[in-house]
Chains A and B, each alone.
Chain A
Amino acid sequence: MGHLAYDAAHLFGGAVLALSFVLLYQRRLTAVINAYALQALVLAIAAAWQGWAQGAPHLFLTAAITLGVKAIAIPLGMHSFVRRLGMNRAVESALGVFPSMALGVGLVALSIMVVLPVTAQSHMLTREDLALALSVVLMGMLMMISRRTALTQVIGFMSMENGLILAAVSVEGMPLVVELSVAVLVLLAFAVFGVFFFRIRDQFDSLHLDHLDRVDGGPR
């Protein structure tokens, strides 16, 4: 792999991670959705770039799926729901901006410390992309923990899946990437469907997961 190919792949992987940080501190719902769409767009570019650099045409399909569904269709659908239900207001976070950013930095350091030593014999690009991907996965989890509403939790979940796709495309010669990305997509579609249909259309205001606490098995 040439110098340029390596640098560009690195750049795109890093941009996906940077957007995870953006996702962490956005306050308004539309801004969160936009940041997610941008992350999916960069991921699509990263996948296409890997497809070109590895000479693996099936990755273009993964890129196309990511672009079409994750960067365009899902965000558009979410925007229209948010508009229709008039929920574009600030969403609070269980943690403040600074603590969540600090935790995010900690998670990135953790993934680098975990991944780089164990992949010593692997391809340089694979190693670094894997570390970036693990960071994105962990930050997605952090977002699921720190955000209080179901919709932002689902975006955290989808951002986590972005990390997984980044990992899958950066491992050279990985088979079934397209199939796996379709399977992941089913999971995402289900999550989005779940928020809007499963989770109580008419009770959208009480979309806080707090009332899950009612399922505690106590006498009632």
Chain B
Amino acid sequence: MIAGLVALVPLLAAVVLGFVRDRAIGAWIVIAASTAAFGLACALPWQMGAGTLLLVDPLSVHMAILTSFVGMTTAWFSRRYIEIEMITGRLDGLRARQYHVLFQAFLGFMLLALLSNNLGLTWGAMEAATIAAVLVVGLPRTDLAISAAWKMFVLCGVGIALALFGTIVLYLAAQPSLGPGLPAMSWSALAVAAPGFKAPLLNLAFVFLLIGYGTKAALAPLHAWMPDAHAEGPTPVSAVLSGSILNVALAVLLRVRGLMASNPDAISPGIPLMALGLLSLLLAAFALWRRYDVKRFFAFSSVEQSGLAAFAFGIGGPAAMFAGMLHVTLHTLIKAAIFQCVGRASQLKGGQKFADIGGLIASHRALGLTLAAGIVAVAGMPPFGLFSSEFLIMLATIRSWPWLALPVGLGLVVGGWALFNRLISLCLGEPTPNRGPAPTLIDLVPAWLHLALAVVLGMAMPAGLVAWFTLVAGGLR
């Protein structure tokens, strides 16, 4: 019941926003709807259960809370951001309204994909979220934004199509055990019956689902849409894209991985996940050195972190799952904070190239320090939580695949080094001229909230949260 509302509130808000012409009211509806979705998602842990359409289990609850949290803080952040974009003329009134509608639709469909108990519904929601994301990326209507949106549509469209083929094959694998009809398409029934499935069909389904949803998880070599979409779309979308759509895709892959792992005859899902994860990590770590656009740079950093999480999920076992889950959570929080800062910084400096943005601490102390803290956090330095999760992933790697610790470590060092390099040019040194309005301290509150959570999760994780992460990781087999 509540699970349905979590997804329905943003979707309804999207419909209502389509009719609201007053921009101030529209902005507040966005804030109210996404805050309500987060509040409802927080009630889900007491609503565990599997229905015909919706599945409320630790994995989906965790991801739904995380996604709706980022959606909520980004909605707070968007209000002022969009106002400034309109003042500077990059968005007009109609586009601003379209932005709010699409943002809520995107959020609602992602939550639906997470909470769905049906392969078909998950697929459909994912497809709808993709379309909303493509539209919102193309919203600035510049040539580059349109090209980026089209590229995202073509790549993700092919990915989505392959995922549908995988879904059909998975149904075919489940049908002999579960009989024709809806049960053979429900995640909860599949998880129970998976040990009895025919392994060859399950393998075939896995390959297609891995490629299909792997495209959305931006795993290399299927990540090509992601840097363009980040660089050209409105910045709040980058904050949500970076965390959420990757997470939704990873969550689906985790469920498929669970099915594969529980079937004794199926191929081990770990190796392909580890291979794609490691490839993404290394490719993105080196790619970070050749970026000139700030948002593109952090998009590659997201590819790197998504790859590391997929690698951890590939290792498997309670410790690696715990680490992977923690990593996904922290990366989402930190990266959203970074993109919020980058959005304000590019408005302040009137550009999003590294050449435009420099000496932020000198020109706007609070913004510069917040961005610096975010970059330190995403580079995996203490006191932020990504340090703990990366440490745990390294430990799990050394325990089960000692030799792989070398490339993983190399990727982390190369990536972290690039991040520090850019930290120096962005935040320290000679300030570049300001060409836009400066953010107020209130605008930075969402970013501070995210970073504070990242510190808490890294330094002093409450026992309740440890138990919760253990529960989520334990449910993943």
Q: Identify the A interface with B (CB < 8 A).
A: 114-115, 117-122, 126, 130, 133-134, 137, 141, 144, 150, 153, 157, 160-161, 163-164, 167-168, 171-176, 179-180, 183-184, 186-187, 190-191, 194, 198-200, 209, 211-212, 214-215, 217-219
Contacts and interface: CB of A to CB of B under 8 A. Distances in A.
5 contacts: A180-B124, A183-B123, A186-B127, A215-B147, A217-B292
A167 B161 CA distance: 12
Given A212-B150, A215-B231, 9 more contacts: A133-B165, A153-B154, A168-B164, A173-B175, A180-B124, A183-B124, A215-B144, A215-B151, A219-B353
B304 interface: no
Interface in B171-210: 171-172, 175-176, 179-182, 184-185, 198, 200-201, 203-204
Nearest to B205: A118
A118 B292 CA distance: 47
A83 B166 CA distance: 38
Contacts of B184: 175
B95 interface: no
Nearest to A211: B147
A164 B151 contact: no
Nearest to A115: B204
A179 B171 contact: no
A198 B144 CA distance: 11
B41 interface: no
B27 to A, nearest CB: 26
Given A184-B164, A186-B127, A186-B128, A176 B185 contact: yes
Contacts of A171: 168, 171-172, 175
In this complex, the interface size class of chain B, counting residues with CB under 8 Å from chain A, is: 35 or more
A115 B154 CA distance: 26
A16 B200 CA distance: 26
Contacts of A219: 292, 353, 355
A217 B127 contact: no
Contacts of B121: 176
Given A134-B165, A157-B154, A215-B232, A198 B138 contact: yes
A43 to B, nearest CB: 15
A212 B204 contact: no
B148 interface: yes
* Smallest CB-CB A-B distances: 7 pairs: A173-B180, A118-B200, A176-B120, A183-B124, A217-B296, A215-B228, A167-B168
B245 interface: no
B143 interface: yes
A143 to B, nearest CB: 12
Contacts of B127: 183, 186-187
Contacts of A186: 127-128, 131
Contact of B181 (A114, A175, A194): A175
A198 B180 contact: no
Contact of B157 (A115, A120, A173, A187): A187
Contacts of B165: 133-134, 137, 163-164, 167
Contacts of A114: 204
Interface in B146-164: 146-151, 153-154, 157-158, 160-162, 164
A1 B212 CA distance: 33
B154 A121 contact: no
Pick the most buried of B175, B181, B228: most chain A CB atoms within 10 A of its CB.
Answer: B175
A94 to B, nearest CB: 15
A173 B176 CA distance: 11
Contact of B120 (A157, A167, A180, A194): A180
A174 B168 contact: yes
A84 B292 CA distance: 41
A180 B153 CA distance: 19
Interface in B253-272: none
B82 to A, nearest CB: 21
A187 B160 contact: yes
B83 interface: no
B92 interface: no
Q: Which of A164, A176, A217 has the most CB of B within 10 A?
A: A217
A161 B168 CA distance: 13
Given A186-B127, A217-B293, A168 B168 contact: yes
A217 B154 CA distance: 19
A115 B166 CA distance: 12
B358 interface: no
Contact of A199 (B150, B181, B200, B291): B150
A190 B204 CA distance: 29
A199 B146 CA distance: 7
Interface string B409-451: 0000000000000000000000000000000000000000000
Contacts of B168: 164, 167-168, 171, 174
A212 B96 CA distance: 26
Given A122-B172, A180-B124, A217-B293, A173 B154 contact: no
B169 to A, nearest CB: 8
Contacts of B158: 141, 144, 157, 160
A126 B292 contact: no
Contacts of B316: none
Contacts of A121: 176, 198
B255 to A, nearest CB: 18
Contacts of B149: 198
Given A122-B172, A160-B161, A174-B168, A198 B150 contact: yes
A198 B164 contact: no
B225 to A, nearest CB: 10
A211 B171 CA distance: 40
B286 to A, nearest CB: 14
B176 A179 contact: no
A198 B291 contact: no
B233 interface: no
A154 to B, nearest CB: 9
A126 B181 contact: no
B120 A217 contact: no
Contacts of A218: 292
B227 interface: yes
Contacts of A133: 165
A217 B291 contact: yes
A215 B158 CA distance: 20
A120 B200 contact: yes
